[in-house]
A and B are shown apart, each in its own frame.
Chain A
Amino acid sequence: MVSLEPRGTRSTLYSYLSPVIAIVLTLAAGIVIFSAMGKPPMQALYVFFVQPLTTAYGATELVVKATPLVLIAVGLSLGFRSNVWNIGAEGQFTVGAIFGGGLAIYFHDSESILLLPGTLVAGIVGGMAWAAIPAWLRTRFNANEILTSLMLTYVAILALSYLVHGPWRDPDGFNFPESRVFPDAGIMPVLFEDSRLHLGAVFALAIVLVGWTLLSRAVIGFQLRVVGAAPAAARYGGFREKRLIWFSLLLSGGLAGLAGISEVAGPIGQLLPTISPGYGFTAIIVAFLGRLHPVGVLFAGLIMALSYIGGETAQIELGLPAAVTGLFQGVLLFFLLGADVLINYRIRFGRARVPQGGAR
């Protein structure tokens, strides 16, 4: 008989160890999955998780993919701490790209050095505006932000599709559903030649530091932590719940918007019907894997970015379908949530000990 015994206090050790356990178990599951698909498992794991890192280009691509994940997940992890479940980051990412991209398209013959900063600000504003809707509906009408933010994601993606098929379609684009290519003044500068590594990576690093400071030094960060850990204490302490909801959603929405505009003004360079392989959803996993802490999110973002690049490599080298990436991501989150039991509970083998106080 196996039973769980509460530890009484959270185990810091297992809070750090749990992601490692989850990653090891996911690799083990990978062996099973690849074998089941008739691929040599060790070679497949190598192609998936090691080969992309063996070239300089692969390493920079890792950072390119990690950039949006980290930007979004830092915002989400602060909200998740206070039980504000913004799962519509994909939509806020999209609206950020629409707002910022709209500006870049409107000023398509501009050479002003103000265009890029303006575009980025517009992207942030777009993401915040989209996240403000669930914040308002939650604080004013008590509507569940999980469902509203997710529904708005579908709306945002349809809006982008409408724009690139209709009014914003490139007039010289042979009727392809694509916008104009952004002018050079609206494109993120590349950090290294011959790579796609762009300024956004610097933003992501800066956001990690800001988020860390916010969480450990600022009053609002303290409030977010208390609301999540001890809601009753937070109410007693007079924290204004509505303010925290607004803060969490605007922050995560703004960062998702920044990620969105950084992506279209960075590696993509124009608006397309599809601008994200699901970064907004993967960032949810990144936030949990990073222990809802900005520094942890940085590492988790790199790991999840590897699953995207590995998926692409495996598609080319082994003919695996692209969906393997999503499968791996889901499996990893399952293992992580399962391993997290060790943070609050001890596993006991043998008969369960009757706790004192005489429960049956």
Chain B
Amino acid sequence: MSDISWLVPVILTVITASTPLLLAATGELVVEKSGVLNLGVEGMMVVGAVAAFATASSTGSAVLAILAGLAAGAAVASVFGFLTLGLVANQVATGLALTIFGIGFSALIGAGYVGYALEPLPKLDIPVLNDLPFVGPILFGHDALVYFSFAALVGVSWFLYRSRAGLVLRAVGESHDSAHSIGYPVLRIRFLAILFGGAMSGLGGAYLSLSYTPMWAENMTAGRGWIALALVVFSTWRPGRLLLGAYMFGAITILQLHAQSAGIGVPSQVMSMLPYLATIAVLVAISRDATKIRLNAPGCLGKVFHPAR
């Protein structure tokens, strides 16, 4: 047993690096399944991160901080929803606007919080189970958001493929005109999906500022929102592969951190490029099969819907 004990801290850090990606990508999966492409994940994450950190440091309550992250993500997502659904704005441009706005807004809110550190979120502590060798810390030693990220993924899979409401949501994403003509409220369903996506992105951001690195720094999401977007494409819009993708990226992130601290002769900046290069590599690997993308992508992804047309 002892020869693999070094694996325990590695796996633990992989889990913490993967969780924010999994949370945000799970939310974006639902949004895209409803036919909406929200490129503002990065913006919603960073706003969630600052809202959670500000709440935690002023109230000291982890629960309130998590709720603040959720609410802040949903709030900025509602602006995206209003513009793209209510005012039929271009989804690509509005998503970019959301990211630019989110980075500026969070930097403004967070200006007074730079340099403070928080206690990380409390870890689950079960006396006997936690002390089990190997499996104990890996299965039981996490904070609530890690477990929630798995629960959310399972819940979303069930919702999308086993519930009637999920079927309607997918129908809206495949063909909004057909769904509209049989009387489903396309815009309302999409708006709710956008709010859910915003809340999950906000939660991903909250995890970063409350647990992964319990502090606030400007632009601290560092492209994770974009990686989450790429993960949804990588997953070909399927929850199981989303989990695989998120953990693969978490592992790459941690691999490069460990390689840096082990002092192998590669400059730190080159190692830091790895997650971004890996994103490009997986995108290429999955996109080269154009048929696969066409068959799996929601039919109306990114298309504008106006019922009177």
B22-35 to A contact mask, C-beta < 8 Å, 1/0? 00000000000000
Tell whether, in the assembled complex, residue A147 and residue B229 are in contact, meaning their CB atoms are under 8 Å apart: yes
Asked if A166 and B92 sit within 8 Å, CB to CB, the answer is: no
Interface status of B201 (Cβ within 8 A of chain A): no
Q: Mark A141-160, 1 if CB is under 8 A from B, else 0.
A: 11110111011101100110
Produce 1/0 per residue, B243-280, CB < 8 A to A: 00000000000000000000000010110110011011
Provide the residues of chain A in CB contact with B90, threshold 8 Å: 337
Is A144 a contact of B269 with CB atoms below 8 Å?
no
What chain B residues lie within 8 Å of A284 (beta carbons)? 96, 100
By beta carbon, the residue of chain B nearest A329 is: B100
Q: Which residues of B contact A143 (CB under 8 A)?
A: 280, 283-284, 287-288
Structural contact, B94 and A4, CB atoms closer than 8 A: no
Question: For window 267-304 of chain B, which residues contact chain A by CB distance below 8 Å?
Answer: 267, 269-270, 272-273, 276-277, 279-280, 283-284, 287-288, 290, 293
Q: What does DSSP make chain B's interface, helix, strand, loop or mixed?
A: helix
Q: A334, B79: Cβ atoms under 8 Å? A: yes
The residues of A that contact B137 with a CB separation of less than 8 Å are none
Determine which of A137, A158, A330, A341 lies in contact with B88 in the assembled complex, contact meaning CB atoms within 8 Å: A341
B residues contacting the other copy or chain, number (CB 8 A): 50
* Interface membership of chain A positions 63-77, coded 1 if the CB is closer than 8 angstroms to chain B and 0 otherwise: 000000000000000
CB of B111 within 8 Å of the partner chain = yes
In the complex, whether A131 has a CB less than 8 A from a CB of chain B is: no
Contact at A146–B270, with CB atoms within 8 Å? no
A285 beta carbon closer than 8 Å to chain B: yes
The count of chain A contact residues (Cβ–Cβ below 8 Å) is: 54
Total A-B residue pairs with C-beta atoms closer than 8 Å? Answer: 152
Q: Once bound together, how far apart are the Cα atoms of A58 and B88, in whole Å?
A: 39
A120 → chain B, closest Cβ, in Å?
26
Interface check A165, CB cutoff 8 A: yes
Instruction: Determine whether B97 belongs to the interface, using a CB cutoff of 8 Å to chain A.
Output: yes
- Chain B residues in contact with chain A, CB under 8 A? 39, 79, 82-83, 87-90, 92-94, 96-98, 100-105, 107-108, 111, 183, 218, 222-223, 226, 229-230, 233, 267, 269-270, 272-273, 276-277, 279-280, 283-284, 287-288, 290, 293, 306-309
28 residue pairs of the A-B complex, CB under 8 angstroms, read: A3-B308, A4-B306, A142-B290, A143-B284, A144-B233, A147-B229, A151-B223, A151-B277, A152-B280, A154-B276, A155-B273, A158-B272, A158-B273, A159-B269, A281-B100, A285-B100, A321-B111, A323-B111, A323-B218, A325-B104, A326-B105, A330-B98, A330-B104, A330-B105, A334-B97, A340-B89, A345-B88, A355-B308
